[in-house]
């Protein structure tokens, strides 16, 4: 599917959400099938791990490597998988059975960990005085080996092929930071830091500082892409794993689920609405600047300031949001069962396929509406 050549940036923006992240892998598979190739991938938490797999492999290998990654981390680390893990779908299962299945798989993740991802620590070392990289319930050392086996970091750090940005929080200062391959060389630790959600996972040390999951401050890197300078025409695929909108909770488990949805959705629509207004003002300023006489433009300092603030760039945001199921409960972000993983993947693939089929959705926005958004689930 051809993308308008006037888009200087084609970005894939990946939110955090733990086990729900296979939805993002399905979205990427649909983009690859349509021959839509991002030149900037930005992620936080599990979105950062998917970012590493995508950016660290050639286009023809990315879907294969994503499958290998998810098939690995959706297995128990030591004991055999659950007997139903090889089934392909739960489409016709009663919801009560699915609720029990989800609860069992989440319990296994909590008690056993996940292969190539994390394993429980000795309880004594998890709670006693120690260094920041060991104060956690789980040890994520296996994840480093998994990333180094599946990611070519030389390719990932070649910003000429693809820009890579992942968000994390400095534990000491509380400041949110982006690790970016246009500014530094990224290693497995940068992606692990972006997904180091306490107290489950430990802080990750990078150049003498310790970092936690970026989702503590903001779970979506959309604003980073929209505000990057120099501003460029951009087609952005924003893939969220939490929905800000949902049903009112009627019991304590649904309260916990709704709280997570609201907290980790990170106000994606608020960001797009704010940026849409800002971009309209920048366009308006640029039109007004045309009324300034040519002789005044070079000497007037206010004109020069206005020139810096104005912008005629255009942004198109294709928003994809994972739609939760009633049987998942508040454990859906750590329910790593292989059967559920495949369901999430298929949902992502179906959503991007339907989005790409909508007439005009990839078209360049017009100057009178410089930032547009599309969402197949929006009513």
Which segments of 276-362 are extended strands (E)?
Answer: 315-321
For 338, residues 6+ apart whose C-beta sits below 8 A from its C-beta are: 71, 74, 75, 81, 82, 85, 86
Task: Give the Cα separation of 358 and 376 in Å (integer).
Answer: 9
**CA-based angle 240:242:248, to the nearest 5?**
145
Task: Give the Cα separation of 372 and 361 in Å (integer).
Answer: 9
Task: Give the Cα separation of 171 and 114 in Å (integer).
Answer: 25
For 94, residues 6+ apart whose C-beta sits below 8 A from its C-beta are: none
Q: How many CB atoms lie within 10 A of CB 64?
A: 12
Catalytic residue check, 366: no
Length of the chain: 379
Longest dimension (CA), the chain: 78
Q: How many CA atoms lie within 13 A of 188 on its CB side?
A: 14
Among residues 136, 180, 194, 213, the one annotated as catalytic is: 213
Catalytic residue check, 45: yes
DSSP letter for each residue of 6-58: T-SEEEEEE---GGGGHHHHHHHHHHHHTT---SEEEEETHHHHHHHHHHTS-
**Whether 40 contacts 165, CB under 8 Å:** yes
Among residues 22, 45, 265, 266, the one annotated as catalytic is: 45
Name the residues annotated as catalytic.
Answer: 45, 213
């Amino acid at each position: 599917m051809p993308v308008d050549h006037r888009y200087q940036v084609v970005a894939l923006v990946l939110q955090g959400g733990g086990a729900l992240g296979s939805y993002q892998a399905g979205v990427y598979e649909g983009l690859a099938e349509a021959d839509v190739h991002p030149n900037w991938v930005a992620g936080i938490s599990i979105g950062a791990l998917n970012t590493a797999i995508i950016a660290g492999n050639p286009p023809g290998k990315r879907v294969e490597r994503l499958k290998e990654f998810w098939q690995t981390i959706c297995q128990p680390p030591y004991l055999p998988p659950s007997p139903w893990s090889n089934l392909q779908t739960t489409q016709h299962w009663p919801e009560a059975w699915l609720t029990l299945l989800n609860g069992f798989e989440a319990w296994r993740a909590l008690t056993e960990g996940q292969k190539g991802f994390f394993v429980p620590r000795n309880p004594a070392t998890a709670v006693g005085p120690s260094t920041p990289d060991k104060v956690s319930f789980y040890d994520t050392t296996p994840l480093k080996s998994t990333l180094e086996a599946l990611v070519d970091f030389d390719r990932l750090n070649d910003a000429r092929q693809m820009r890579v940005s992942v968000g994390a929080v400095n534990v000491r200062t509380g400041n949110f930071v982006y690790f970016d391959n246009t500014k530094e060389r990224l290693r497995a630790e940068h992606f692990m830091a972006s997904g180091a959600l306490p107290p489950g996972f430990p802080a990750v040390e990078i150049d003498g500082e310790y970092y936690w999951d970026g989702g503590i401050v903001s779970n979506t890197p959309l604003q980073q892409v929209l505000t990057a300078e120099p501003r460029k025409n951009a087609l952005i695929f924003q893939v969220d794993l939490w929905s800000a909108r949902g049903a009112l909770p009627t019991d304590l488990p649904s309260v916990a689920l709704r709280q997570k949805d609201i907290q980790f959705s990170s106000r994606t629509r608020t960001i797009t609405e704010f940026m849409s207004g800002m971009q309209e003002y920048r366009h308006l300023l640029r039109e007004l600047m045309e009324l300034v006489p040519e002789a005044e433009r070079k000497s007037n300092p206010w004109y020069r300031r206005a020139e810096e603030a104005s912008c005629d760039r255009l942004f198109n945001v294709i928003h994809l949001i994972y739609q939760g199921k009633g049987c998942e409960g508040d454990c859906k972000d750590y329910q790593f069962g292989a059967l559920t993983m495949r369901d999430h993947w298929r949902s992502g693939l179906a959503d991007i396929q339907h989005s790409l089929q909508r007439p005009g959705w990839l078209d360049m926005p017009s100057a009178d509406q410089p930032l547009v958004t599309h969402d197949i689930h929006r009513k």
